[in-house]
């Protein structure tokens, strides 16, 4: 069983139905949730805290648009710098680089492709921590988290705050799983 937010037909999946803001925030959330991995990648000299601090303002004003996307590109550069200092053999560092590849324009199709890439990257990280098992508890939990985030962002009200809370909880789970794995290694 392959986990994905994008069903084979594309438009039928949650990402296919999401608007630009939901796509952008969903991708930001996936990238944000992967940051704890920087603490466990050998050779990283720029830590997760610096990358986390770079992304935090984007949550506070996730209004979307070209200006927001420009600020996101600058923040994602901090993630890429950290990943570039990592051991080249680390699959986790490569996943972070893929997720930090912010689109050039704030348009639905580019955002959808980026959100799908971020979703896949986050799921790959969780699968790796599950021992490369499809359907493991971490990957399954991450997929559910991604679905909830898109549902929250599609609804009325304060979906952004709820999405941030969900993403923060996901970071906590990933940090704990990565720490357990590091202790066993």
Residue 9 placed within a domain: no
Kindly state whether residue 7 falls inside one of the protein's structural domains: no
Range of the domain at 52: 14-184
Give yes or no for a contact between 129 and 41, defined as CB atoms under 8 angstroms apart. no
pTM given for the model: 0.81
Per-residue pLDDT for the chain (185 aa), expressed as one digit of tens each? 345 554 433 334 788 888 888 888 888 888 888 777 766 655 554 555 666 777 777 887 776 788 888 888 887 887 777 667 655 556 667 777 778 888 989 999 999 998 998 888 888 888 888 887 778 898 899 899 999 888 888 876 577 888 888 888 988 888 888 788 778 87
Instruction: List the structure tokens of 45.
Output: 């000299």
- Is 139 domain-assigned? yes
Which residues lie below 8 Å from residue 137, measured CB to CB, with a gap of 6+?
A: 130
Residue 6 falls within a domain, yes or no? no
19 three-state secondary structure: coil
Contact, 28 vs 124, CB < 8 A? no
**For residue 134, is it within any domain?**
yes
The candidate with the shortest Cα–Cα distance to 173, out of 143, 142, 136, is 142
Residue 77 forms part of a structural domain: yes
Give a yes or no: residue 37 inside a domain. yes
The count of structural domains within the chain is 1
**Residue 5 is assigned to a structural domain of this protein:** no
How deeply is 48 buried, as exposed, middle or buried, from its count of CB atoms within 10 A (0-12, 13-18, 19+)?
Answer: buried
């Amino acid at each position: 069983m392959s986990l994905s937010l994008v069903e084979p037909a594309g438009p039928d999946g949650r990402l296919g139905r999401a608007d630009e803001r939901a796509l952008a925030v969903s991708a930001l959330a996936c990238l944000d949730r992967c940051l704890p991995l920087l603490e466990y990648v050998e050779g990283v000299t720029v830590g997760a805290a610096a990358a986390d601090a770079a992304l935090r303002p984007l949550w506070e004003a996730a209004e979307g648009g070209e200006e927001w996307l420009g600020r996101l590109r600058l923040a994602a550069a901090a993630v890429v710098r950290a990943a570039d200092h990592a051991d080249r053999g680390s699959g986790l560092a490569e996943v972070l680089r893929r997720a930090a590849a912010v689109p050039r324009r704030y348009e639905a199709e580019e955002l959808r492709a980026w959100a799908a890439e971020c979703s896949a990257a986050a799921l790959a990280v969780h699968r790796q921590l599950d021992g490369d098992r499809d359907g493991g508890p971490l990957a399954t939990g991450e997929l559910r988290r991604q679905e909830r985030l898109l549902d929250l962002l599609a609804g009325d009200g304060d979906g952004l705050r709820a999405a941030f809370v969900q993403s923060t909880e996901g970071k906590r789970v990933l940090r704990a799983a990565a720490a357990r794995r590091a202790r066993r290694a």
